[in-house]
């Protein structure tokens, strides 16, 4: 079955639209559309999928691989059999790796349902930044974020924003593709997990400070500790309060 990223790229090429045109029509950056096509961003909210299908002059069902018909009929609808309330509720409440595993078993793309589909669950909206592209304090990376609704139960109290983690350096504590929830603060206690800026590069590590020495440690033992040198530009962007 064709993957979502391939269907997006193929359909955009067929209708002759550029990445920038799709981005403008959807109200997202060109970089976001490019990451959908490359598969770097694997999870797309249901509302974004509907808007993407409209921009690509096709249907959400076609992009999801459920239907081979490319016509524009039914642009605003997903097949309801795929969105029964109890299943959507359980799916939306699960952490990202469990959502992705469920989709892998079912052979469907990872799509985040809108919270309107999930009855009687209080929600909150968070800015979630693309971790690999973050430059400076993540809140300044204006072109690299999505607004995502989460069940209130999964967002820790005091979180200011989310960051999507890429890579396995924090496994098994934080899985590749997880979203970490961060509170902006300039210092941490020993052993706490934080988001750090090192010479303009963002990193998620566990923090240790002894005397004048700062050490950042991965959870994955295959990665060496990072000892911050006096000449490096370094600061703490915030503390990781939890992950999804």
Exposure string for 172-199, b = 16+ CB within 10 A, e = fewer: eebbebbbbbbbbeeebeeeebbbbbbe
What is the spatial order of strands in the sheet that 234-243 belongs to?
145-151, 123-130, 161-164, 179-183, 234-243, 193-198, 201-210, 213-217, 226-227
Among 17, 178, 205, 218, which one carries the catalytic annotation? Answer: 205
Hey, what are 179's tokens? 């979203």
Active site annotation includes 48:
no
Hey, what are 110's tokens? 């990872």
Active site annotation includes 205:
yes
Hey, what are 175's tokens? 């899985």
Among 169, 184, 210, 229, which one carries the catalytic annotation? Answer: 169
The catalytic residues are: 169, 205
């Amino acid at each position: 079955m064709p993957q979502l990223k391939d269907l997006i790229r193929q359909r955009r090429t067929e209708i002759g639209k550029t990445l920038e045109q799709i981005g403008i029509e959807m109200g997202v950056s060109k970089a976001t559309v490019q990451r959908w096509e490359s598969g770097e961003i694997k999870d797309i909210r249901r509302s974004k999928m509907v808007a993407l299908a409209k921009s690509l002059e096709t249907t959400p069902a076609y992009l999801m691989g459920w239907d081979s018909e490319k016509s524009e009929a039914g642009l605003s609808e997903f097949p309801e059999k795929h969105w029964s309330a109890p299943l959507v509720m359980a799916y939306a409440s699960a952490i990202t790796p469990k959502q992705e595993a469920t989709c892998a078993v079912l052979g469907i793309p990872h799509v985040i349902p809108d919270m309107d589909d999930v009855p009687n669950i209080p929600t909150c909206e968070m800015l979630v930044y693309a971790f690999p592209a973050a430059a400076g304090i993540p809140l300044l990376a204006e072109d690299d974020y999505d607004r995502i609704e989460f069940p209130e139960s999964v967002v820790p109290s005091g979180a200011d924003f989310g960051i999507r983690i890429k890579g396995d350096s924090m496994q098994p504590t934080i899985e590749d593709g997880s979203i970490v929830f961060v509170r902006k603060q300039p210092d941490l206690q020993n052993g706490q997990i934080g988001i750090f800026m090192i010479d303009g590069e963002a990193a998620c590590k566990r923090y240790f400070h002894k005397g004048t020495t700062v050490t950042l440690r991965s959870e994955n033992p295959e990665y060496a500790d990072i000892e911050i040198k006096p000449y490096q530009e370094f600061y703490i962007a915030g503390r990781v309060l939890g992950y999804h």
